[in-house]
Amino acid sequence: MRKALPALLLLFFWMTCPGRIAAQEASATPPATSLTPGATEPVTNPSAVAPGISSPAADSTLNGLVTIRGSAPAAWELAFGYRNDPTGTWFRLAASSEPREGDLLNDWDTTLLTDGLYTLRLRIFAADSAQDYLVNIRIRNYSPEDTPTPAGTPTPTPTASPTPLPSATPTITFTPAPLPTPLPPNPAQLHPPQIGLYFGAGALTVTAVFTFFGLLLVLSKKLRA
């Protein structure tokens, strides 16, 4: 019995050692798990879309039928308003209680509006609050496009030419005045001989008148006497 004991121990070790090695080789390698630095749990959704309006882009010019896309993790409302409107009036375009992720929010017909500056607003509702996401846009359907002003050739600055000073002694030019036009002869003009004749005739006439009245006076006195 003592002689057979070493053989039994050797047989026992020979049967148990290969089984352990095979079990170790058959075990699978556990999958590696990537962790975010500083995190305690694996990243489950690395491609989450940020909420807000993804199209159209901010400060873009729109016309015709416009597709509005965006993401909302909860109930949402899409509206537009006039930019810098003091009344704060908003016009609803679409609304839903279902979340959206990078999907179509609404098709917007901009031809129904006048050209100008507008703001799109995506409002996302939470349990007791709401978050607004704004995008400023410009609508242009009827006004002409802005034509860039071509860069022209710079106009040279004009050089002032010296103005000659007047001479110290100015030259005076005399212009003779036109002679007066002679008047036509006056038909009532009297010559000196005619004046003497008319004066003598007048004196004789006056003398005759006084003589006549003197005679009448003398005759009247005689008739009274």
**Torsions phi, psi for 111 (to 5 deg):** -70, -15
**First-to-final CA distance of the chain:** 241
CA 158-163-164 angle, to 5 degrees, is 155
The span from the CA of 50 to the CA of 131, in Å, is 13
The pLDDT score that the predictor gives to residue 160 is: 63
The span from the CA of 117 to the CA of 128, in Å, is 32
Full pLDDT tens readout for the chain, 225 residues = 555 555 666 666 656 655 444 444 444 444 444 444 444 444 445 456 799 999 999 999 999 999 999 999 999 999 999 999 999 999 999 999 999 988 889 999 999 999 999 999 999 998 889 999 999 999 999 988 766 666 666 666 666 666 666 555 656 666 666 666 666 666 666 566 777 777 788 888 888 888 888 888 888 888 876
Question: Is residue 52 within a helix (H) or strand (E), and if so which, with residue range?
Answer: strand 52-55
Tell me the pLDDT tens digit for each residue of 32-54: 444 444 444 444 454 567 999 99
The pLDDT score that the predictor gives to residue 155 is: 67
The pLDDT score that the predictor gives to residue 73 is: 93
CATH assignment of 52-139, among 3.40.220.10, 3.40.50.150, 3.90.1150.10, 2.60.40.10 = 2.60.40.10
Tell me the pLDDT tens digit for each residue of 74-98: 999 999 999 999 999 999 999 999 9
The pLDDT score that the predictor gives to residue 223 is: 81
* Sign, CA torsion 17/22/25/31: negative
CB atoms within 10 A of CB 148: 6
Token readout for 217 is 């006076």
H-state helical runs in the chain: 5-26, 192-224
The pLDDT score that the predictor gives to residue 131 is: 94
Q: 3-class DSSP state for residue 141? A: coil
The structure tokens 């590696």 sit at 32
